[in-house]
Amino acid sequence: MTHRIDQSFATRKAKDQAVFVAYIMGGDPDRETSQTLLNALPNAGVDIIELGMPFTDPAADGPTIEEAGLRSLAAGTTLMSILDMAAEFRKGNDTTPIIIMGYCNPVHNMGYANFAAKAKDSGIDGAIIVDLPPEEDTQLRQAFDAHDLALIRLATPTTDEARLPRVVAGTKGFVYYVSMTGITGAAFSQAGSITEQVTKLRKASKLPVVVGFGVKTPERAREVAKDADGVVVGSAIVKALHEDGPQAALTLVKSLADAVHE
């Protein structure tokens, strides 16, 4: 529901803080580990959760997320089991928004209306479908609108001023600014200020602006949080989980959350 998303931003804004958004790949490396990590994220300081839906051909992701998705698929994850994970999470938490993130084909395969209904039932608040630009998202957006779910669109450095109004017009919850041209987990190529881009987005939309892609460390997260309403970290958390286990991932999450909330 957009309500939970709006509430998250309002709560942090009241304390003059940015929102911390953490991404994990659902079902990586298996359902049980992933569910435990998911359930623990709010206590580690996560305000909004992005729950990855695995796909065989994630053409906008780097190797960290691609391999996590393949591990998840090998463990038997399906789109339905991702929704089940959200439903399980909701039994113990009714405030932290869950945005599911992934590629269009599994969603298209389930059917847009069916997916929206099931997502709503599972306590999902919104979705980011990477390969569904405004030109192609009408059907899913209508299905989401019918269930008060947020279809969140991405704005990127290539989204020019002529195009930006169209991108932000249909988005709900927040605007996700992809701060670099590239794939997830890549080195931050434009390590400088994002002030200018965020200002442009604020002019185009009244929604909160969340910045992601290329944020790996508490230092960078702190810097981005000065300009943005929220900061997303994904690959670094997925990598910590894979290399050092759930506890290490949560330790990283906590340090990132603290940095964003400073």
Q: Which residues belong to the active site?
A: 50, 61
Distance (Å, whole) CA 171 – CA 175: 7
CA nearest to 7, candidates 136, 118, 93? 93
Among 1, 2, 40, 62, binds other proteins (CB under 8 A): 62
Residue with tokens 């630009």: 133
Residue 171 binds other proteins (CB under 8 A): no
- What percent of the chain is helix, strand and coil (3-state, nearest 5)? 50, 15, 35
Distance (Å, whole) CA 43 – CA 258: 12
Shortest gap between Cβ of 196 and other proteins (angstroms)? 18
Write out the H or E segment, with its range, that includes residue 232: strand 230-233
Report whether 204 contacts 243 (CB < 8 A). no
Among 33, 93, 139, 156, binds other proteins (CB under 8 A): 156
Identify which range of 22-30, 36-44, 125-133, 195-203 contacts other proteins by CB under 8 A.
125-133
Residue 256 binds other proteins (CB under 8 A): no
Residue 107 binds other proteins (CB under 8 A): yes
Number of residues binding to other proteins, judged by CB under 8 A: 43
Q: Which is nearer to other proteins, 117 or 130 (CB)?
A: 130
Shortest gap between Cβ of 54 and other proteins (angstroms)? 8
**Cβ count near 22 (within 10 Å):** 30
Chain residues binding other proteins by CB under 8 A are: 55-60, 62-63, 66, 70, 73, 78-80, 103-110, 130-133, 135-136, 153-160, 163, 167, 178, 181-183, 186
